[in-house]
Amino acid sequence: MSTDDISSRHVILSGCSGGGKSTLLAELARLGFKTVSEPGRRIAAEELRGDGKALPWVNLAAFAERAIDLAAQDRDLAASDNDWTFFDRSLVDAAVALQHATGQAVSVTLASFRCYHRRVFLTPPWPEIYVSDQERQHDMGEAIAEYERLVVAYGELGYDAIILPKSSVPDRARFVLSQLK
């Protein structure tokens, strides 16, 4: 299998914070698929245990740079997988955060990275299920602004952004899998 074939088996779940990405990822794992948890949540948890200098609400640029590094490591670790692998967020999400923080173009940040499957699944804003917590301290308005930046960036990068329906977790998983056939 070529690198392009492997990349086409790496699927991004992105979109609005609090829109159900992690829950959908857990359902896909339950169904037997390989999954990669969100870099941002892993970074936030680590930073909350440490000095907190790279938390997104303290230093978004430092957080985004760490997220780029971690997402790249995640891709490298999954490179040998020939099966579907689902990523909760991606290098693109981290590059969008870095652009928002510093103005550095997403295309410049991603120039040396391989792509993912052409279809990316976006969770839309869903205020009824949105919950902030210790690792997600921004409000719904900030989450929507981030979502809008992601929609634009994925489109500009040539991805086929598919908005997930606001439905049950099993229905969302079936929808994703049906779109990949």
Instruction: Going residue by residue through the chain, which has 181 residues, state the pLDDT in tens, using 9 for 90 and above.
Output: 333 444 688 999 999 888 889 999 999 999 999 999 988 888 888 888 888 888 877 888 988 999 999 999 998 888 877 789 999 999 999 999 999 999 999 999 998 787 799 999 999 987 666 566 565 556 778 889 999 999 999 999 999 999 999 999 999 999 999 999 8
Contact 86, 33 (CB under 8 A): yes
Phi-psi group of 132: left, alpha or beta (phi > 0 → left; psi -120 to 50 → alpha; rest → beta) = beta
Q: Residue 4 has what pLDDT?
A: 42
Contact 45, 135 (CB under 8 A): yes
* Helix or strand run (H / E) with residue 43: helix 39-49
Cut 0.85: pTM above it: yes
Domain 3-179 is of which CATH architecture?
Answer: 3-Layer(aba) Sandwich (3.40)
Which three-class secondary structure state does DSSP give residue 59?
coil
Structure tokens of 59?
């230093």
- Domain boundaries defined on the chain: 3-179
Q: Residue 110 has what pLDDT?
A: 92
Q: Which residues of 59-146 form beta strands (DSSP E)?
A: 85-88, 119-123
